Amino acid sequence: MSGGPKILRKWAGGIALATAVAALSQAGGRQADDPAAPAEAKPLPDHQMGPGGASARQAGSLEAAVPTPRAVAPKPAPAPAPGAAAPRAIDCRKVQCVALTFDDGPILGTTKLLGILKAHQARVTFFLLGQQVAKYPELVRREVADGHQIGNHTWDHSDLSKLSDAALESQLSWTQDALKKASGVTPVLLRPPYGSTNTRVAAMARKYRLAQMTWAVDPLDWKDHDSAKVERRVVDGTQRDYIILMHDIQPTTVDAVPKILDQLKAKGYNFVTVSELFGASPPVPGELYTKFPGTAQGLP
């Protein structure tokens, strides 16, 4: 069960780690052949795992989004964050809140989104991939320094419901370690890729003190690379205390964000992190949420 962390300590080098991840993925694939595994998986109704589509889609989008080393501009990295931003006194039981979330980063393009969010004084939650965190730790520090929340989105976007317990644990623990190392923050939120979870994933999330956060609105920005569509679906779908899914690895999504923020602000929304949304009633590790469950929906 604790094979993952031991392996991580043993293989500190990036190449060795990548090899281990590849082996892990293969192990996970074999595990899927276990007849018990598919029956146990309980994907959410809104999770986007089409027949053979999700893995292919994700792999493709990540390949497209992650620049090769030669493509990385030699511009200076952002200055190391002095630490997390000061917490805000905002009570989402009294004011209207929405939690925007951005998955699968960080990538270099995340910098543009961070500038937009800062200009609008909006705080959001990023669900990060460990392998991207290892590439761009300075972007994770900037996210935290700007007051955003960071959460665990696994190491390499594996479907957790199909992994062995050992592989599942490595996906969570490696990413927790990478985020802590990059930012000093230990995440308390897990977003299972594709929203795919089951009782074993829940138990492992509980072990790592992670509440499972999926979403109430999916604007399908990973499928429709159309800023106007993403903008309309988010604005039309948002209700009080909802969690909204988006992807900062999609440039069309980042381009939609200024208008999304303007329109939702005009409707009276405050843009908060997931932990700010839950406030004094923090989410319970292992439990699964799509929104803050305690407020009547659709209030003005």
CB nearer to Ni ion: pick between 104 and 156: 104
CB nearer to Ni ion: pick between 7 and 204: 204
Identify the active-site residue in 103, 159, 177, 255: 103
Start-to-end CA span in the chain (Å) = 48
Which are the contacts of 67, defined by CB distance < 8 A and separation ≥ 6?
Answer: 107, 108
CB nearer to Ni ion: pick between 176 and 270: 176
CB nearer to Ni ion: pick between 173 and 196: 196
Check if 247 is active-site. yes
Question: Are 129 and 158 within 8 A, CB to CB?
Answer: no
Residues that bind Ni ion in the complex, under the rule CB under 5 A: 103-104, 193
Residue nearest Ni ion by beta-carbon distance? 103
Check if 148 is active-site. no
| Beta carbons within 10 angstroms of residue 87's beta carbon | 10
Query: What are the Cα distances from residue 12, in Å, to 8, 59, 201, 247?
Result: 6, 25, 26, 29
CB nearer to Ni ion: pick between 103 and 255: 103
Question: Are 159 and 133 within 8 A, CB to CB?
Answer: no
Q: Shortest Cβ distance from residue 104 to Ni ion (Å)?
A: 4
Q: Shortest Cβ distance from residue 192 to Ni ion (Å)?
A: 9
Identify the active-site residue in 153, 247, 248, 255: 247
HSE at residue 201, side-chain half, CA atoms within 13 A, is 28
Of 181, 182, 37, 207, residue with least CA distance to 190 = 207
Q: Shortest Cβ distance from residue 6 to Ni ion (Å)?
A: 27
Q: What is the DSSP string of 123-140?
A: --EEEE-HHHHHH-HHHH
Q: Shortest Cβ distance from residue 249 to Ni ion (Å)?
A: 9
Return phi, psi of residue 262, to 5°: -60, -45
Question: Are 133 and 104 within 8 A, CB to CB?
Answer: no
DSSP state of 20: H
Q: Provide the annotated active-site residues.
A: 103, 247
